[in-house]
Homo-oligomer: A and B are copies of this chain.
Amino acid sequence: MFSLTPKEDKFFNLFVETANIAYEASKLLVEFLKDLDNSEENLKKLKEVEHEGDRKQHEILKQLNNTFITPFDREDIYLIAKDTDDIIDLIESTASRFVMLNVNNSTEEAEILSRMIVECCQEIIILMEELKNMKTSKELSKKIIEINRIEEEGDKVSRKAIMDIFRGNMEVIEVIKWREIYQYLEDTLDACEDLANVIEGVVMKNA
Query: A residues bordering B, Cβ < 8 Å?
Result: 61-62, 65, 96, 99-102, 159, 162-163, 166-167, 172-173, 175-177, 179, 201, 204-205, 207
Nearest residue (CB) in B for A75 is B75
Q: How far is the CA of A175 from the CA of B101 in the complex (A)?
A: 11
Q: Say whether B166 contacts A101, CB under 8 Å.
A: yes
Q: Given A65-B204, A204-B62, A204-B65, decide whether A100 and B175 contact each other with a Cβ distance below 8 A.
A: no
Summarize A's interface: helix, strand, loop or mixed: helix
Contacting A179 at CB < 8 Å: which of B61, B163, B176? B176
Q: From A182, which residue of chain B is reached at the shortest CB distance? A: B100
Take A172-B173, A176-B176 as given contacts and tell me if A61 and B204 are in contact as well, using a CB distance cutoff of 8 Å: yes
A166 vs B167: C-alpha distance when bound (angstroms): 22
* Distance between A117 CB and nearest chain B CB, rounded to angstroms: 21
Residue pair B163, A102 in contact (C-beta under 8 Å): yes
A166 lies within 8 A of B204 (CB): no
Q: How far apart sit A141 and B207, CA to CA, in the bound complex (Å)?
A: 38
Q: A163–B100 Cα gap in the complex (Å)?
A: 5
Please determine whether A166 and B100 come into contact, CB atoms closer than 8 angstroms. Answer: yes
Shortest 6 CB-CB contacts between residues of A and residues of B = A65-B204, A102-B166, A100-B162, A101-B166, A172-B172, A172-B173
| A99 CA to B163 CA, complexed, in Å | 7
* Distance (whole angstroms) from the CB of A157 to the closest CB of chain B: 12
CB <8 Å contact, A100 and B176? no
Q: Is there an interface contact between A159 and B100, defined as CB atoms closer than 8 Å?
A: yes
Distance in angstroms from A29 CB to nearest chain B CB is: 18
Contacting residue for A205 out of B65, B159, B166, CB 8 A:
B65
> How far, in angstroms, from A201 to B79 measured CA to CA in the complex?
13
| Cα distance, A173 to B73, chains bound together (Å) | 48
Contacts of A179 in B (CB 8 A): 176
Shortest Cβ distance from A65 into B: residue: B204
Q: List 27 A-B contacts (CB under 8 A).
A: A61-B201, A61-B204, A62-B204, A65-B201, A65-B204, A65-B205, A65-B207, A96-B159, A99-B163, A100-B159, A100-B162, A100-B163, A100-B166, A101-B162, A101-B166, A102-B163, A102-B166, A102-B167, A166-B173, A166-B177, A172-B172, A172-B173, A172-B176, A173-B175, A175-B176, A176-B176, A176-B179
